[in-house]
Amino acid sequence: MTIPENRYPRANDRDTVYLNRVVTNPNIQVGDYTFYHDFVRDPAQFETNNVLYHYPVNKDRLLIGKFCSIACGARFLFTSANHAQTSLSTYPFPIFFEEWGLEKEQVTSAWDNKGDIVIGNDVWIGYEAVILSGVHIGDGAVIGARAVVTKDVAPYTVVGGVPAKKIKLRFDEETVRRLLTLRWWDWPAEKIQKNLSAITQGNLALLND
């Protein structure tokens, strides 16, 4: 069993794509088997429609792990969506450097740089959820539909709301610890396939690690 080369995980389904088969921006890195589903727009246009205000001048990155599930309309908002709050005005004067006689190199001072967005492995991001710049989401986390995630999310934590807050932990702390140690998503595909029953049934005891 090898990593699929086809961009589409399912026959006759053009609403779902493996993201690392369609993304071309070097500052967007996506792990194997992570998919995006979009029934409104072409999912292959993910980096244009869903990764917003992501300009090379900031050198910030979107890093997404393996086996993530990203629902229709989920968006990742980067640094350039911000306005500098240390300024006495929220108006982004440096963007309009020609109008105000400023140096072009000052353009990044128009916003507060929050850094990379990092999504772990086996993360489920719900319908029209919004992830803000600088946020790190741990392995196995679940982001509720239309949540706005402004802060880091711990592994195997379910969050929802605006702003997103913890709803529950998916498993007890010992199970979470064991899953983070096992890191099944890094296993060879053949080994994952042999353990699918245990994984899908939620039976940690049956995992053959």
Structure tokens of 75? 């968006």
Beta strands in the chain (DSSP E): 16-18, 28-30, 35-37, 51-52, 62-64, 69-70, 75-77, 117-119, 124-125, 130-132, 136-137, 142-143, 148-149, 157-160, 165-169
Q: Is 83 a catalytic residue?
A: yes
Q: How far is CA 131 from the centre of its chain?
A: 7
- What is the DSSP-derived secondary structure letter of residue 67? S
Structure tokens of 31? 């792990």
Q: Which of 166, 192, 171 is nearest to 67 (CA)?
A: 192
> Distance between CA atoms of 139 and 136, rounded to whole angstroms?
10
The pairing of strands 142-143 and 124-125 is parallel
Catalytic residues: 83
